[in-house]
């Protein structure tokens, strides 16, 4: 190919088992062809950073390893007009748009194939028969407009077509399998599974091959809209002449995101055809309205991207002018230009500069314990409320580890040696910053003081620096009140236990406070007697110890079982998270609904969702145990600001969110307790900084082994 590179017009490399070195060189050095067909390629994190100055059509359909794009992807494709990525694993709206926005000439895009069908006609004029008559799932997309896709803009006989489609041999396949390694960009682990599309995307598409009625959109419009509807693209068609029923085929997971079509149209204003359907003027208008209603372009409602240098320059000018004013003069700028507002503007500038956050796995070296082979399996964690560098986490093996998460050094460590099972409950005391409560699913409850704990405990369990409380069987949650006098415990029962920290006694057990088990109990942040409970009986209840909680202050119900609840930092709101992404913000004073977050359900009754506040109560972060995504939403409007995707290496290493916390000291920072879905995988804590870019945006793809758990907890 390099020998007659400049003469190439069409390069067809579909379905070929080339090794990672070939694909890497192709993507980094580029080609001079006009059309490039890379169907069924093994890219996982796409980085087409080479020079593709002449390419106008790129086909990546059925690249079932492809999940994301690097930041520099597509930067050297100035005239790319047609791009197809059906049946990939691309799912993140934000990073996808950030990559595609570099394609200034892009007018046709597809992540799925809308096929028109009715009872009396074939699926489409060009499909060549009914769907039932097409045995090979890949042939469906190939037969429909594929020839026009590959030949669009090319005159037959004027250039060379370079094809390797018939040379794949068993030896090449074997070589390809042996060539698989720890490379972040190319993945061959899916070669023998690449046609198992239904299993691959089962978690994303409860409505696979769903039908959508587009009659209202296709039957009306001005003469200009009719003209737009007659567009013929490389994978478009004359939609004005087709019936009103459409079926989605070969959809990538991104297509099942709520308001996917509107988001893509609003974010790519030059787009003329999306998923085979023309983008009309009315579609663009509706997309703009939907985008403003459900999505936040920049944090804190900033409307336009601005550089950090520009913001700092404006602040310096304002400060200089304010110092020059006499005492009787007032500044000419409003409170909107206050230092607090500048801080928000700086955050918006940093977040607007890159869609790829910095993700870093918290790696606590075993050598800190004098044992280089030791590794931890974290199951629960909590930031320290007043010391920004400290974090405590408990493990599946009952260990309790206090760590400096900034330098990743162990501060204190307790080995349970079987005294505890999985640690599910952790809570720092506020007035006594060296102390915290830890509870395990076996019911063991202890108060630890890190000032009286030895730096490391190896070989034997030590009770130094700890106080033991009465057990609470099948514990899932503990929480300390604002004065550090009391704490509550709940678990797989209908009861809540109240403990006195000073005396070490259990004061009372409140029985049958819910109809099903109580997964999480939380004290308010400022009132030492007020607490909330969330249960799988679908109720959230607020209680006051001063009223001897026989009856709750109020009860509010949702449609699914509640996984957790927490107070906003100022106690104005309650954030309740129910199974399968039902997240609501309630007024803490009376339980009325303040905001319902528009997060799409998966249809799974085991998709346990957890949500917490970030940046005070400005934003919420939400993740679920059947999904690899953490969603960031504005707590004032409910609009989605960004999704953070966790991706393991290869198809067998999909990750999910077990728990998460916003960093109380750093805006737009959080930590995620993540685990792999494959058997014998282990949990790890991933630190996320939305204000920092991950460079080339390889994202998080570190491969680890871990261990799944069915226990609940916050």
Helices (H) and strands (E) in the chain, counts: 12, 41
Q: Are 13 and 32 in contact (CB under 8 A)?
A: no
Q: Enumerate residues 6+ apart whose C-beta is below 8 A from 314.
A: 337
Task: Give the pLDDT of residue 449.
Answer: 94
- Residue 245 — φ and ψ, nearest 5°? -95, 135
pLDDT-derived band of residue 156, with 50, 70 and 90 as boundaries?
very low
Distance, C-alpha 199 to centroid of its chain:
21
Residues 6+ apart with CB under 8 A from 426: 380, 381, 382, 392, 393, 394, 436, 437, 438, 439, 478
Q: What is the mean pLDDT of the chain?
A: 78
Query: Which three-class secondary structure state does DSSP give residue 238?
Result: coil
The pLDDT, as a whole number, for residue 34 is 93
**Hey, which residues does 595 pair with through a beta bridge?**
585
Q: Give me the residue label for tokens 């990525």.
A: 85
| 3-state SS class at 566 | strand
pLDDT in tens, 484-528: 999 999 999 999 999 999 999 999 999 999 999 999 999 999 999
- Please compute the mean of the pLDDT values over residues 537-542 and round it to a whole number: 97
Tell me which residue of 694, 712, 516 sits closest to 607, measured CA to CA: 712
The answer to pTM > 0.75 is yes
Q: Which two tokens stand for residue 514?
A: 């819910």
Rounded to 10 degrees, the C-alpha dihedral 329/335/340/342 comes to -80
Task: Tell me which H or E stretch contains 195.
Answer: none
Q: Residue 268 in contact with residue 105, Cβ under 8 Å?
A: no
The Cα–Cα gap between 359 and 42 comes to 24
**Which residues, 6 or more positions from 601, have their beta carbon under 8 angstroms from its beta carbon?**
580, 581, 582, 607
Greatest extent of the chain over all pairs of C-alpha atoms, in Å: 91
Task: Please state, as a whole number, how many other Cβ atoms lie within 10 Å of the Cβ of residue 48.
Answer: 26
- How confident is the model at residue 303, as a pLDDT? 82
* Structure tokens that stand for 698 in this block: 């390889």
pLDDT digit string, tens, across residues 338-347: 557 778 888 8
Token pair belonging to 652:
């067998």
132 alpha carbon, distance to own chain's centre: 36
> What's phi and psi for 152, nearest 5 deg?
-60, 125
Binned at pLDDT 50, 70 and 90, residue 373 comes out as low
Q: What is the pLDDT of residue 142?
A: 41
Task: Give the contacts of 453 (CB within 8 A, at least 6 positions apart).
Answer: 412, 414, 462, 464, 465, 466
More confident residue, 26 or 165: 26
464 compared with 472, residue with greater pLDDT: 472
pLDDT at position 680, please?
Answer: 66
pLDDT band of 601, cuts 50, 70, 90: very high
- Which pair of structure tokens corresponds to residue 699? 């994202």
At 604-661, the pLDDT tens digits run: 999 999 999 999 999 999 999 999 999 999 999 999 999 999 876 555 567 889 999 9
Tokens of 117: 């069908």
Burial 282-307 (b: 16+ CB within 10 A, else e): ebeebbeebbeebbbbbbbebeeebe
pLDDT for the residue 314: 77
Mean pLDDT of 701-706: 38
Cβ–Cβ under 8 Å, residues 566 and 612:
yes
The pLDDT assigned to 36 comes to 93
Residue 487 DSSP one-character state: E
C-alpha torsion 266→290→73→279, nearest 10 = -40
Q: Which CATH class, in words, describes the domain spanning 10-116+248-294?
A: alpha beta
The candidate with the shortest Cα–Cα distance to 65, out of 704, 708, 701, 707, is: 701
Q: Helices 93-100 & 260-267, crossing angle to 10 degrees?
A: 30
656 contacts 628 by C-beta, under 8 angstroms:
yes
CA of residue 131 relative to chain centroid, distance: 34
Q: How many residues belong to the chain?
A: 714
Given this model, what pLDDT does residue 372 score? 53
- Would you give the DSSP letter of residue 598? -
- Phi/psi of residue 154, each to 5°? -120, 130
CA separation (Å) from 183 to 121, 175, 626? Answer: 48, 16, 26
Residue 301 has pLDDT above 50, yes or no: yes
Asked if residue 704 has pLDDT above 80, the reply is no
Q: Tokens 């793809």, residue? A: 701
């Amino acid at each position: 190919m390099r020998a007659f590179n400049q003469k190439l017009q069409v390069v067809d490399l579909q379905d070929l088992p080339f090794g990672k070195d070939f694909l890497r060189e192709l993507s980094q050095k580029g080609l001079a062809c006009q059309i490039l067909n890379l169907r069924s390629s093994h890219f996982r994190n796409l980085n087409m950073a080479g020079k593709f100055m002449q390419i106008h059509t790129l086909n990546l359909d059925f690249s079932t390893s492809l999940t994301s794009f690097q930041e520099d992807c597509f930067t050297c494709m100035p005239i790319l007009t047609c791009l197809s990525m059906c049946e990939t694993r691309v799912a993140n709206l934000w990073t996808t748009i950030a990559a595609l926005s570099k394609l200034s000439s892009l007018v046709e895009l597809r992540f799925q194939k809308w096929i028109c069908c009715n009872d009396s006609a074939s699926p489409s004029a060009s499909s060549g028969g009914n769907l039932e008559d097409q045995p090979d799932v890949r042939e469906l997309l190939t037969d429909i407009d594929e020839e026009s896709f590959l030949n669009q803009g090319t005159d037959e006989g004027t250039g060379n077509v370079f094809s390797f489609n018939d040379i794949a041999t068993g030896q090449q396949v074997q070589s390809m399998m042996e060539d698989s390694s720890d490379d972040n960009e190319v993945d061959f682990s899916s070669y023998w599974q690449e046609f198992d599309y239904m299993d691959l995307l089962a978690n994303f598409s409860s409505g696979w091959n769903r039908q959508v009625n587009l009659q209202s959109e296709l039957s009306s419009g001005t003469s200009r809209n009719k003209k737009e509807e007659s567009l013929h693209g490389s994978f478009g068609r004359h939609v004005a002449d087709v019936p009103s029923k459409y079926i989605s085929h070969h959809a990538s997971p991104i297509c099942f995101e709520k308001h996917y079509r509107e988001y893509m149209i609003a974010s790519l204003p030059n787009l003329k055809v999306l998923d085979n359907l023309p983008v009309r003027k009315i579609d663009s208008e509706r997309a703009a309205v939907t985008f403003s209603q459900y999505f936040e372009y920049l944090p804190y409602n900033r409307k336009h991207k601005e550089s950090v240098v520009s913001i700092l320059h404006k602040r310096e000018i304002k400060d200089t002018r304010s110092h020059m004013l006499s005492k009787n003069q007032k500044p000419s700028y409003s409170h909107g230009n206050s230092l607090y507002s500048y801080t928000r503007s700086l955050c918006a500038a940093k977040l607007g500069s890159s869609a790829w956050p910095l993700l870093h796995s918290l790696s606590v070296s075993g050598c800190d314990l004098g044992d280089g082979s030791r590794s931890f399996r974290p199951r629960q964690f909590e930031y320290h409320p007043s010391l920004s560098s400290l974090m405590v986490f408990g493990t599946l093996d009952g260990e309790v580890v206090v760590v400096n998460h900034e330098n990743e050094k162990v501060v204190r460590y307790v080995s349970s040696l079987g005294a505890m099972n999985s640690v599910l409950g952790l809570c720092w005391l506020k007035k006594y910053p060296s102390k915290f409560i830890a509870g395990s699913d076996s019911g063991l409850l202890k108060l630890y003081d890190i000032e009286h704990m030895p730096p490391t405990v190896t070989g034997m369990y030590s009770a130094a620096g700890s106080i033991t409380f009465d057990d609470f069987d099948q514990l899932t949650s503990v929480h300390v009140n604002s004065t550090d006098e009391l704490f509550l415990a709940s678990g797989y029962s209908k009861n809540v236990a109240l403990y006195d920290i000073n005396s070490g006694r259990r004061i009372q057990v409140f029985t049958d406070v819910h109809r099903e088990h109580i997964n999480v109990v939380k004290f308010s942040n400022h009132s030492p007697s007020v607490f909330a409970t969330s249960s799988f009986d679908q109720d959230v209840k607020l209680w006051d110890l001063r009223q001897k909680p026989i009856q709750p202050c109020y009860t509010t119900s949702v449609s699914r079982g509640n996984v957790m609840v927490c107070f906003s930092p100022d106690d104005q709101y309650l954030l309740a998270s129910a199974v399968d992404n039902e997240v609501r913000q309630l007024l803490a004073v009376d339980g009325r609904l303040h905001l319902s977050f528009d997060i799409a359900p998966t249809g799974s009754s085991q998709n346990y969702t957890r949500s917490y506040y970030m940046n005070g109560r400005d934003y919420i972060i939400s993740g679920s145990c059947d999904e690899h995504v953490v969603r960031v939403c504005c707590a004032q409007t409910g609009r989605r600001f960004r999704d953070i995707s966790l991706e393991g290496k290869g198809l067998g290493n999909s990750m999910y969110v077990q728990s998460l916390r916003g960093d109380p000291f750093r805006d737009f920072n959080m930590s995620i307790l993540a685990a792999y879905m494959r058997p014998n995988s282990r949990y790890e804590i991933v630190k996320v900084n939305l204000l920092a870019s991950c460079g080339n945006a390889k994202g998080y793809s570190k491969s680890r082994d871990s261990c799944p758990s069915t226990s609940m907890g916050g």
